[in-house]
Structure 1
Amino acid sequence: MDVRQLEYFLAIVDRGGFTRAASALYVSQPSLSQAVRALERDLGSDLFHRIGRRVVLTEAGKALIHPAREAVRSLQTARASVAAVHELREGRLDVASVPSQAVEPLTSLVSTFSHRYPGVSVAIKAAFTARDVVDMVRTGAVELGLLASTGPFSDTEVVSYALERQRFVLMVPADGPFAGRTAVDCRELAGQRLIVGQPGTGMRAYVDALRAQGIEFTIAAETEHRVSLMPLVLAGVGLAVVMDSWRDLARRLGARVLDIEPETSLDIALVTRRGTLSPAAAAFVTAATSAAGPGEALQQPNEHRSGR
């Protein structure tokens, strides 16, 4: 068994099949299949059920995912440690983020880091919810995660560093309601047409809470694609409750952004696994927490309530 075989195995798992994995790895499909068969012979167990062109993980395959990620991550950490001797001149850092925080503060964090360590490539992985981010960090799919939360974490395998707080705001088309206003009371959303995200996100939880308070509105559109929120608002489909991180971009594209009163906010945090980080990850955390000001890692959390 070697790490290359484990990387091939994980590529098949993550890409959903041999063909896509071979394309992503820039290897031929026969070479990929041969490497996996060699790994299966070494382990003495099939890792995939091959059903026509489809592959399905066996129980042995499912059991291998976590240790394989650990092994690959350890090798990457070892390589990065050697690179650290040369002042982080090269390497790669994987960061997972929910969409709103990928707008900001992730843009600023990556910008600061990239200017300090231009040889390190930052790979940003998409996650739909804060729980997804935590799971990606916990399983080793990424080293760092950026998320928004209304409370502390219950997962004792991760450490959280508070960065900032973002409030909920209302994104409105230029010719939409509340003209000349800079703020709106949440009760004024009654009777409006709203564009919302899928259940499980902080923005959706906020509007669901309004409805639970008796504030009735119409859901004009529900989308899992955060990138479609702003075009839908600008097209006049409805209004959208988003995080304050959207403010500058929305205004540049012609939307109006109003504060929602009373203020309701989410805490933005960077999460890592417990234990030793790669030099690149450690440098990113240091840069992020320095920019955020003195803070304390949240240890032994209790309840996890996520947002975006």
Structure 2
Amino acid sequence: MDVRQLEYFLAIVDRGGFHRAASALYVSQPSLSQAVRALERDLGAELFHRVGRRAVLTEAGRALIEPARAAVRSLGTARASVAAVRELREGRLDVASMPSQAVEPLTTLIRAFSGRYPGVTVAVKAVFTARDVIDAVRTGAVELGLLASAEPVPDREVTAHPLGEQRFVLVVPPGGPFAGRDSVACEELTGQRLIVGQPGTGMRAYVDALRDRGVDFTVAAETEHRVSLLPLVLAGVGLAVVTESWRETARHTGARVLDIEPATALHVALVSRRGGLSPAAAAFWSVAGEWERAEGAGRP
């Protein structure tokens, strides 16, 4: 068994089949199949059921995923350690982020990080819930994760670095309701048409809690695609309750952003696996700490 075989195995898992994995790896499909068969011989078990062109994981295959990721990550850490000697002039850092936090603070963090280490690629994986972020970090699919949750992140499964809070705001189209206002009471959302996220997200949990309190609104649209929020608002489909990470972007499109009273916020945190970080991850962690200290100094 070698790391290359494990990388091939994970590529098939992540891409959903041999053909897509071979294309992503720039190898021939026969070469990929041969490497997987050699891995299966070494392990003494089939990893995939081959059904036509489909590759379905066996129970042994599912059991291999997490250790394989850990082994590949360890090799990546070793390679990154060598790159650290070269002052991080090259390398890759995998980060999982929830959609709203990918707007901010991730944009600012990547800008600061890339300014110092322009040769290191930051690869952002899109996930939708805090649980998804924690699982991606815990299993080694990524090194770092950026999430927001109603409660502070416990340190039972991952190491967390708090990055402040993001309150909920209301995005309204030009000429929409609440003209000339900077804020709106949550009860005033009664009778409004709202654009909401899918169940399991902080944004959805917040509006569901409003409904439980008697705020009777209509769900105009439910979307997993955060990029569709502002176009839907601007098209007059409805109003959107989002975190304030969207504030500047929304204003630049011409939408109005109102604070929702009373203020309710999500806790934002950068998380990592317990144990050592690769040099790139450690550098990004340091950048996040500097950003949070600067933000904290500017808060009242």
What is the TM-score with the length of structure 1 in the denominator? 0.94
One-letter code aligned to 2:23: S
Determine the C-alpha separation between the residues in 1 that align with 2:225 and 2:46: 37
| 1:155–1:64 CA distance, 2 compared to 1 (3 A) | farther
1:28 corresponds to 2:28: yes
Determine the C-alpha separation between the residues in 2 that align with 1:153 and 1:92: 26
Following superposition, the deviation at residue 294 of structure 1 comes to: 8.6
Following superposition, the deviation at residue 53 of structure 1 comes to: 1.4
1:68 corresponds to 2:68: yes
Where does 1:7-156 land on structure 2 (aligned, <5 Å)?
Answer: 7-154=7-154, 156=156
Determine the C-alpha separation between the residues in 2 that align with 1:28 and 1:217: 54
SS, match of residue 113 in structure 1: helix
Following superposition, the deviation at residue 152 of structure 1 comes to: 3.1
Determine the C-alpha separation between the residues in 2 that align with 1:237 and 1:18: 42
1:246 corresponds to: 246
1:195 corresponds to 2:198: no
One-letter code aligned to 1:10: L
Number of residue-to-residue matches in the alignment: 295
Please identify runs of 4+ aligned residues in structure 1 that moved more than 2 A.
Answer: 152-155
Following superposition, the deviation at residue 31 of structure 1 comes to: 1.2
* Identical pairs, percent: 77
One-letter code aligned to 1:158: V
1:211 corresponds to: 211
One-letter code aligned to 1:119: G
SS, match of residue 184 in structure 1: strand
Q: 1:176-234, CA deviations, whole angstroms, 9 ceiling, x for partnerless residues? A: 11111110000000000000000100010111011000110100011111111111001
Following superposition, the deviation at residue 157 of structure 1 comes to: 2.7
Determine the C-alpha separation between the residues in 1 that align with 2:202 and 2:54: 36
Following superposition, the deviation at residue 155 of structure 1 comes to: 6.1
Q: 1:264-288, CA deviations, whole angstroms, 9 ceiling, x for partnerless residues? A: 0111100000001000000100110
Q: 1:105-155, CA deviations, whole angstroms, 9 ceiling, x for partnerless residues? A: 000000000001111110000001111000000000000000001213456
1:162 corresponds to 2:158: no
Determine the C-alpha separation between the residues in 1 that align with 2:180 and 2:239: 16
2:224 corresponds to: 224
What is the TM-score with the length of structure 2 in the denominator? 0.96
2:235 corresponds to: 235
SS, match of residue 266 in structure 1: strand
Determine the C-alpha separation between the residues in 2 that align with 1:294 and 1:124: 24
Determine the C-alpha separation between the residues in 2 that align with 1:178 and 1:29: 59
1:304 corresponds to: none
Q: 1:212-257, CA deviations, whole angstroms, 9 ceiling, x for partnerless residues? A: 0011010001111111111100100000000000010001011110
One-letter code aligned to 1:163: L
Determine the C-alpha separation between the residues in 2 that align with 1:131 and 1:155: 13
Where does 1:259-274 land on structure 2 (aligned, <5 Å)?
Answer: 259-274=259-274
SS, match of residue 293 in structure 1: helix
Q: Is the 8 A contact 2:152 2:267 kept in 1?
A: no
Task: List runs of 5+ in structure 1 lacking aligned partners.
Answer: 296-308
Following superposition, the deviation at residue 94 of structure 1 comes to: 0.2
Task: List runs of 5+ in structure 2 lacking aligned partners.
Answer: 296-300
Determine the C-alpha separation between the residues in 2 that align with 1:197 and 1:251: 20
Q: 1:278-306, CA deviations, whole angstroms, 9 ceiling, x for partnerless residues? A: 000001001101110199xxxxxxxxxxx
Determine the C-alpha separation between the residues in 2 that align with 1:85 and 1:213: 57
Higher relative contact order (CA 8 A, sep 6+): 1
Q: What CA RMSD, in Å, does the superposition of the two structures yield over aligned residues? A: 1.2
Determine the C-alpha separation between the residues in 1 that align with 2:40 and 2:288: 42
SS, match of residue 128 in structure 2: coil
Q: Is the 8 A contact 2:154 2:160 kept in 1?
A: no
Q: Is the 8 A contact 2:92 2:123 kept in 1?
A: yes
Q: 1:70-119, CA deviations, whole angstroms, 9 ceiling, x for partnerless residues? A: 00000000000011011111110000000000000000000000001111
Determine the C-alpha separation between the residues in 2 that align with 1:124 and 1:66: 20
Following superposition, the deviation at residue 46 of structure 1 comes to: 0.5
